[in-house]
Amino acid sequence: MSDAQRLIEDVRSRFGPKAAITDPSDVEPWLNDWRGRFHGNAAGILSPSSTEEAAEIVRLAGESRVALVPQGGNTGMVGGATPPADGSAVILSMRRMNRIRSISAENRLAVAEAGVILEELHHRANGVGMRFPLTLGSRGSCTIGGLTSTNAGGTQVLKFGTMRSLVAGVEAVLPDGSVHDGLSGLKKDNRGYSLDQLLIGAEGTLGVITAVALRLVPAVASRAVAWVGTESPMKALDLLRFLEGRTSSIEGFELVPDDCLQLVLKHIPGTRAPLESNQAWHLLIEATTSDPATDIAADIERMLGEALEHGIIGDAVLASNEGQADAFWRIRDSISEAERAEGPTLAHDISVPVAAMPRFIVDASAEVERAFPGVIASAFGHLGDGNVHFHVRAGTHAAPDWYASEGGRITHVVDDLVVAAGGSISAEHGIGQMKIDELERLGPPAKLHALRAIKHALDPLGIMNPGKLVR
């Protein structure tokens, strides 16, 4: 019996069969990432039902030197929750810890356990007349623990920030089995380094998050969703500045190049172009208000009318009802699926300073298409955050081994361009196992040294998610 198997049996005898899953058919779905790019092995899944059980599991894992791989909804993009292939680690699933411990409109706070599904939190917040604003495509399966551990972003970052801005406190089991309780909900607390902030985005390498205190915001009274056409990413940024100078209601500002729209129209049934005119670039804009007295649609329509007069945009249409608004968002959310239907596509989740993004999109796309003739570079996404998904389609190069052969070289070129522009090779998806080599190749030495020092200081046995983020 391996050390891992002994740990699993020990946990089963202490906390019952639900806490130690070994049936291969129950384990298998969690050994690979959802996109099927990373494949791991593990003798089982440990699944605590409480913080106390989680702490005891981490303590036992330390004693037996068995590594733990924390896992929430397993919706990550960088293999951060996939166990190593050698089977030496076990999965630490947080899905049984799925209670919302408290929720208060008065305090504008919810305390959710790590395994709470994001969509469940959305519903519960709505139920008390409030809103948890962060959202993203996997909202029906991603968990609060995973979102916090990866400092997730999504489509409403422009107004509300990433998880880092929305987390009021973290409860976590540290690698020595002790429990850090940061759930007090204090607005001000200057008792030394912020462990909460250190654990946000640590991808489970400094401990496992068991619960999170989250800020709630007033519910949306009404929203306006617009589809806008313009001639360039520069004009798109001009529009953002124009709107930001007039309103603080803009939540979503998503850039879509016309070739991405055309792929969606080609591959996704039931979609249609929002505008009748031809436009080189498109924007999906969402504005919201929590004030029932504000006519947000009229405000946005007026501002877009002015932008049209100023020549900032070429065309615009406001969704006339919720169905049309959802149809606009469906186009945006279907781009990745449409690209995959077209052929192999390399994804790069990158950021540069907002002001530099339009130029970067144009120049980097040209550079990649020049260096790798036949491929097609498209950048879409969160222009207002300086974060786009810089995708490169194989185009005429669609050989079966394209990802492994040319793909790696393309990623090198893209990442080099990002670093040269003062940007980040991981804007919102994290490092996981996918980007660890690139982080080591390109990361600032001072920062890499500090990351390693912190990791080894807090996890000297190396039992928390080894091989992810930092080695």
Which residues here bind its own copies, judged by CB under 8 A? 104, 106-107, 150-151, 153, 157, 162, 164-165, 174, 176, 178-181, 184-195, 197-198, 200-202, 206, 241, 351-355, 382, 385-387, 422-431, 439, 443-447, 449-451, 453-454, 456-458, 469-470
The amino acid at residue 135 is T
Taking the C-alpha atoms of residue 357 and residue 267, their distance in angstroms, rounded to an integer, is 28
Count of Cβ atoms closer than 10 Å to residue 18 Cβ? 11
User: 333 CB contacts (<8 Å, ≥6 apart)?
Assistant: 137
Shortest Å distance, C-beta 443 to its own copies:
6
Taking the C-alpha atoms of residue 194 and residue 34, their distance in angstroms, rounded to an integer, is 32
Count of Cβ atoms closer than 10 Å to residue 314 Cβ? 18
DSSP 44: -
Shortest Å distance, C-beta 439 to its own copies:
6
Burial of residue 276, with CB atoms counted within 10 A of its CB: 0-12 exposed, 13-18 middle, 19 or more buried: exposed
Please say which residue, 48 or 201, places its beta carbon nearer to its own copies: 201
Helix, coil or strand: residue 301? helix
- Reported residue count of the chain is 471
Shortest Å distance, C-beta 191 to its own copies:
5
Please say which residue, 1 or 446, places its beta carbon nearer to its own copies: 446
Burial of residue 333, with CB atoms counted within 10 A of its CB: 0-12 exposed, 13-18 middle, 19 or more buried: middle
CA dihedral in degrees (139, 144, 146, 152; nearest 10)?
70
Please say which residue, 51 or 279, places its beta carbon nearer to its own copies: 51
CA dihedral in degrees (193, 197, 198, 203; nearest 10)?
170
User: 401 CB contacts (<8 Å, ≥6 apart)?
Assistant: none
Shortest Å distance, C-beta 70 to its own copies:
16
Shortest Å distance, C-beta 345 to its own copies:
21
Taking the C-alpha atoms of residue 226 and residue 313, their distance in angstroms, rounded to an integer, is 12
Shortest Å distance, C-beta 20 to its own copies:
25
Taking the C-alpha atoms of residue 217 and residue 134, their distance in angstroms, rounded to an integer, is 10
Shortest Å distance, C-beta 422 to its own copies:
5
Please say which residue, 274 or 430, places its beta carbon nearer to its own copies: 430
Contact 155, 389 (CB under 8 A): no
Shortest Å distance, C-beta 98 to its own copies:
24
Token duo for residue 309: 């007069």
Please say which residue, 355 or 366, places its beta carbon nearer to its own copies: 355
Contact 210, 171 (CB under 8 A): yes
β-pairing verdict for 222-230 and 217-218: unpaired
Please say which residue, 16 or 129, places its beta carbon nearer to its own copies: 129
Shortest Å distance, C-beta 81 to its own copies:
15
Shortest Å distance, C-beta 147 to its own copies:
12
DSSP 143: B
The residue assigned the tokens 């139920």 is 127
CA dihedral in degrees (331, 336, 341, 347; nearest 10)?
160
Please say which residue, 251 or 385, places its beta carbon nearer to its own copies: 385
Please say which residue, 22 or 294, places its beta carbon nearer to its own copies: 294
Please say which residue, 207 or 274, places its beta carbon nearer to its own copies: 207
Please say which residue, 45 or 379, places its beta carbon nearer to its own copies: 379
Please say which residue, 120 or 181, places its beta carbon nearer to its own copies: 181
Shortest Å distance, C-beta 405 to its own copies:
26
